Amino acid sequence: MRRRPLSALAALSASALVLAACTSAPSTRDGSDPDRAAAEAAAAPVVTVVNPPVEETTDDGTAEAEQPQAGSDTGESSASEAGTEQAGTESSADAEDAGEDSDGDASSTDPDVVHIAAGEKLELAVDGGEFTEVELIDVDHETVPVDTGTFDVAGIDDTDGAGEDTPAAESTSGTEDSSDTGAGSADGTADAEAGGSVDAGAQASGASTADASEASGADDSAPVGPQGTEWISSVDLVTSAAYQWTATTVAPDGSEHTATGVVTTPETTAVEELTAKTVITDGEEVGVGAPIIVMFNSTIPEGVRDDIEARLSVEVTDEDGETQEVEGSWAWLYDTDGISRVHYRPKEFWPANVEVSVNLPLKDVEYSDRWYGKEDVALDFQVGRDQRVTADAQTHRMKIERDGKEIADWPTSLGSPQAPSYNGTHVVMEKHAHYVMTSEQWDYETPTDWAVRIHNNGEFVHAAPWSVGSQGSANVSHGCINLSTERAKEYYDMALYGDPVEITGSSVDLTTNHSDISDWVYTWDEWQELSALN
């Protein structure tokens, strides 16, 4: 290499000093002082990713480690600074590119992306200020609810300690919008498309609940105060994913700042695909009591159910396409024959004449060392008219109401004292124009017509011409609701999957055992306890 003579360098330095002394200080076109702007920029708090980086596999199968920033003392420190200080200034396009290459290639070419392990929570820390709000979104799936995480004033290492964590959902209510912040709307949603600017977000529709500010009793007009210097996500990161975090911070001088960055996770190493199927079919019209049932073709370990549930979303819109707030919750019911299932039901019955959109972004999500999600699942269905049946074992009458008006009042016969019908809320599960009723206990095999199943315990609404003489006056069935053939056909034609059927006046009650659908047997508090996010 040819070196410049020292004397020449000295002369160049001297001339630079002379020019500096003779040249007026630069100014911007708007007349602002660049030195002052630089000082303000230097005062901005610095947000870093605490999670250590992991090696990522390149196309040729070799491992490539994250490159630490020069001058860092430790690998963890360098990864945090290299991955987040630069990511805090990245453009929207950078975030979008990271989402497209979420298989791990992005972080090997983009210094603004940090590649960290899946199966653990994202942890952020801020130096030179405090957090006021943090949002974490899945770049590739805008339907995944926004994770507002938890602030830990006492430190991330103490997050398991009682009374130390501040739920971010409570603190974010009432956040004032700022031109440079990524704050979403009051219900925790963001307005822009995923992977965009600092306002980019995903719709937090997982539970379709009321605003966090109402739940916490916070004043919507009150600004959010400092929440501490450390933040942790609510759930673990999943495999094969790209996440964008947006952090709003406040400096000691009271100024507010926004930083954003992207983290990616490795691909799954599980070897077998696991499918998720819904009972309701795409485009189906259902009754107001229809639960959303998702069945997996294997057992889902309890340790990952919260991470899976956190990705599921339900959105309700009316006939005009306007979003409707419908409170609801997912619940993991007991496994049957090695099959796990998660159900969603609203607190009350669905409103009539709405559309429900369900998204299950589970492709490549690792459930265990063996299983990973085969595909994403999307489902759109319609809730039809509000039709409800009440069958009273005391009055021997079956009444049908549609949209609040009684449309039928028929004589019926329910279960005898030896084989009583079960009190409680049933729902229409399936229909058969012809069905053979069998019972080992009562030793019969009886063909029936217009059979509408309302429970797995053998309860149906069906035609029973042999009991017409008792219908309206006595209970003589083996637990079913008997109707005349004409009335059974009329009900069969109008019944939809999910229509509620309430039985009253009997001597026994439904339990939560031995049924595919026992969702409405649980109280709302009991149902919420079955959520893995509770």
Q: Could you tell me the two tokens for 517?
A: 């659908």
Q: What is the CA radius of gyration of the chain?
A: 30
Please answer whether residues 220 and 186 qualify as being in contact, where contact means their C-beta atoms are separated by less than 8 angstroms.
yes
Q: What is the dihedral of CA 409, 413, 419, 424, to 10 degrees?
A: 0
Partners of 346 in the β-ladder: 328
The yes-or-no answer on residue 462 being catalytic is yes
Q: Could you tell me the two tokens for 390?
A: 């009440």
Q: Could you tell me the two tokens for 154?
A: 């006492």
Count of CB atoms within 10 A of residue 112's CB?
A: 23
Which residue in this structure is represented by tokens 């055992």?
513
Count of CB atoms within 10 A of residue 289's CB?
A: 28
Alpha helices in 114-255 (DSSP H): 168-172, 212-216
The total number of residues written for the chain in this structure: 534
Question: Residue 464: what residue type?
Answer: A
C-alpha to C-alpha distance for 139 and 405, rounded to whole angstroms: 47
Q: Could you tell me the two tokens for 89?
A: 């200034």
Please answer whether residues 199 and 190 qualify as being in contact, where contact means their C-beta atoms are separated by less than 8 angstroms.
yes
Please answer whether residues 239 and 267 qualify as being in contact, where contact means their C-beta atoms are separated by less than 8 angstroms.
yes
C-alpha to C-alpha distance for 381 and 376, rounded to whole angstroms: 17
Of 257, 343, 462, 478, which one is the catalytic site residue? 462
The yes-or-no answer on residue 22 being catalytic is no
- Please tell me the chain's helix, strand, coil percentages from 3-state DSSP, rounded to the nearest 5: 20, 35, 50
Residues forming the active site: 462, 480
